Amino acid sequence: MIVLAALFAVTGAASNAMGTAFQRKAASTVSRGGGLRLVVALAHRPAWLIGIGGVMGAALFQALALLNGPMALVQPLFVLELPFALLIAAQLMHRRLPPAAWWAITGVVGGLALVLGSASPAGAQNQASMMRWLPVLVICLGAMAAAVAVARPGRPPLFRAAVLATASAIGNALTAALLKSATGKFAEGGLPAFLTSWQTYGFAVTGVCAILLLENALQAGLLTASQPALTIGDATVSLMIGITLFEERIRTGWWVLPELIGVALIVWGVLRLSRVVGTQAAEAAGARSSSA
């Protein structure tokens, strides 16, 4: 089950990265329009349709991963989405990744392997009592609301981007927890149990909120401020939710040392990769403005 969950999670990360890369490629071909006009224009691009398929596939793979394994294993594996996205985008845009990006990818993959191998997350519980859900919901939703209040217009752009991305990361982690519970209901009682579960409607609402927060974070400041907060925040909060809500377990004692080394490698790699992504986004924007 653990191996299956890991396989679904890695596939989901790759699918989401593919969706993001193809959507960006499609968006780069549309220079004008907004709102509904933009959606209509994008819908005529095969790359955009492929991207939408990738995002939908990622949601399915994430649900299957969460159904078969602990959040503490599944959600950290979605850190791989960032390296996957860079590799796919480089092929689509016919670009070569710089050596620094390859070193950063090695750091992320190696750090993730070290963390998960050392922590050995375990736990097969998909449901939790309302007494456990209440504090998780209050803390997560309260933190998201506080972030929105703190990151009000007028604050420095980098600060706003990082805070809003952190709020989005919390929303993603809470959405994953609700999705895990809802898919567990589906596995146990079929479609009627899924449709009558409050967690089903909960993950739909929190998922939309997380997306809106991310969009605002991307508009507020540079990708180099939002991407690390989003990637690292999601994995960290998901780990804490998995332990406190679903009673998942990780190894402690002397295992903490290699776990911390792995975390440091992931953080370093994500920060370096975020700079590469930010540079590519700036170059793409410059190319679009010069051709307009």
CA distance 112 to 83: 12
Residue pLDDT, tens place only, 18-57: 887 777 676 666 655 545 565 666 667 787 788 888 888 9
Mean pLDDT of 112-118: 95
By the 10 Å C-beta count (0-12 exposed, 13-18 middle, 19+ buried), 242 is classed as buried
Residue 279 has pLDDT above 70, yes or no: no
Q: What is the band of 250 on the pLDDT scale with cuts at 50, 70, 90? A: very high
Tokens representing 26? 């499609």
CB of 277 closer than 8 Å to CB of 223: yes
Kindly report the pTM of this predicted structure.
Answer: 0.84
Distances in whole angstroms, Cα of residue 227 to Cα of each of 33, 62, 218, 257: 26, 20, 9, 26
Per-chain mean pLDDT for the chain:
85
Residue 61 has pLDDT above 80, yes or no: yes
Distance of CA 189 to the CA centre of its chain: 28
Residue pLDDT, tens place only, 194-230: 999 999 999 999 998 988 888 788 777 666 777 788 8
98 or 32, greater pLDDT: 98
Residue 164: CA atoms inside 13 Å, Cβ hemisphere, count?
28
Q: What is the band of 285 on the pLDDT scale with cuts at 50, 70, 90? A: low
From the list 163, 78, 139, the residue with the least C-alpha distance to 112 is 78
Mean pLDDT of 8-24: 85
Residue 174 has pLDDT above 70, yes or no: yes
In the chain, % of residues over pLDDT 70: 86
Residue 268 has pLDDT above 90, yes or no: yes
Q: What is the band of 96 on the pLDDT scale with cuts at 50, 70, 90? A: confident
Q: What is the band of 286 on the pLDDT scale with cuts at 50, 70, 90? A: low
Tokens representing 55? 């995002």
Q: What is the band of 107 on the pLDDT scale with cuts at 50, 70, 90? A: very high
Domain boundaries, the chain: 72-291
